[in-house]
């Protein structure tokens, strides 16, 4: 997913323009976990491939404004911070206190996360590469290839002293999510 698309979701959250496509759950004061759909399901959507969803962590500042996001792609993370909000520590704090602990605590039937990998490509520009690498290494990620573009952090080597999870689930959000799942299952009924 490109940075422009991630920025679009941040803007939508700040404009309160996301009602049936983004479902948020607070995991600490500055981070919300979210399931995000590009669009609402339509009756002619036949499979889950027609309406993909993404797993995001949206990062907030002290005023509750969304300033960044981390896309969880299971074997990789893709992060983006609004340009005017960079170099303020939001990403580092969120990764250290909430996102990485959440990922390591999370138990999924088919995917146990004992190690988290990230990729930092040189194509993002020298300054962005350098800054992303500084963030990654401050969290504990270590380069695992000669190009120093692939990094890894194991659950055992993560510094847990900063962990600060405080999950809260809004009943209204839960009801909306259950309704969304119902609508999706209805839209998957085969049409002959």
What CATH number corresponds to the domain at position 162? 3.40.630
Select from 108, 116, 178, 180 the least CA-distant residue to 142. Answer: 116
- Tell me the β-bridge partners of 28: 31
> Residue 155 falls within a domain, yes or no?
yes
Contact 91, 134 (CB under 8 A): no
Would you list the DSSP string of 102-140? HHHH---SS---SEEEEE--GGG-HHHHHHHHHHHHHHT
Asked whether residue 18 is assigned to any structural domain, the reply reads yes
Quote the strand ranges of the chain, DSSP E: 22-28, 31-37, 53-60, 66-72, 77-81, 115-119, 142-143, 150-154
If one counts the domains in the chain, the total is 1
Domain ranges, residue 144? 3-187
Q: Is 82 helix (H, G, I), strand (E, B) or coil?
A: coil
- Taking only the tens of pLDDT, the chain with its 192 residues reads 899 999 999 999 999 988 778 999 999 999 999 999 887 665 555 544 456 789 999 999 999 999 999 999 988 999 999 999 999 999 999 999 999 999 999 866 556 789 999 999 999 999 999 999 999 999 999 999 999 999 999 999 999 999 999 988 765 545 554 554 544 444 443 444
Residues 6+ apart with CB under 8 A from 138: 92, 96
Backbone angles phi, psi at 4, to 5 degrees: -60, -40
Q: State both tokens at 161.
A: 């002293």
Model pLDDT, residue 175: 52
Assess if residue 117 is contained within a domain. Answer: yes
**Which residues pair with residue 154 across a beta bridge?**
115
Q: What is the pLDDT of residue 20?
A: 79
- Say if 44 falls within a structural domain: yes
Return the pLDDT at 113.
Answer: 87
List, for residues 131-158, the tens digit of each pLDDT value: 999 999 999 999 999 999 999 999 999 9
In a domain, 10, yes or no: yes
171 falls within a domain: yes
- Whether 111 is in a domain gets the answer yes
């Amino acid at each position: 997913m490109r940075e422009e698309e991630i920025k679009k979701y941040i803007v939508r959250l700040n404009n309160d323009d996301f009602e049936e496509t983004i479902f948020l759950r607070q995991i600490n004061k500055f981070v919300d976990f979210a399931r995000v759909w590009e669009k609402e399901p339509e009756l002619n959507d036949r499979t889950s491939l027609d309406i993909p969803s993404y797993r995001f962590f949206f990062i907030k500042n002290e005023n509750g404004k969304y300033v960044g996001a981390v896309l969880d792609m299971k074997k990789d993370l893709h992060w983006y911070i609004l340009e005017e909000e960079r170099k303020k520590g939001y990403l580092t704090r969120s990764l250290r206190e909430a996102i990485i602990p959440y990922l390591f605590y999370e138990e999924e039937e088919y995917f146990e996360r004992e190690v988290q990998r990230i990729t930092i490509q040189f194509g993002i520009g020298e300054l962005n590469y350098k800054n992303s690498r500084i963030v990654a290494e401050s969290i504990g990620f270590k380069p695992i290839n000669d190009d120093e573009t692939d990094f890894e952090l194991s659950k055992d080597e993560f510094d847990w002293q900063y962990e600060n999870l405080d999950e809260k689930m809004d009943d209204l959000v839960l009801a909306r999510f259950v309704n969304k799942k119902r609508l999706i299952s209805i839209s998957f009924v085969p049409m002959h």
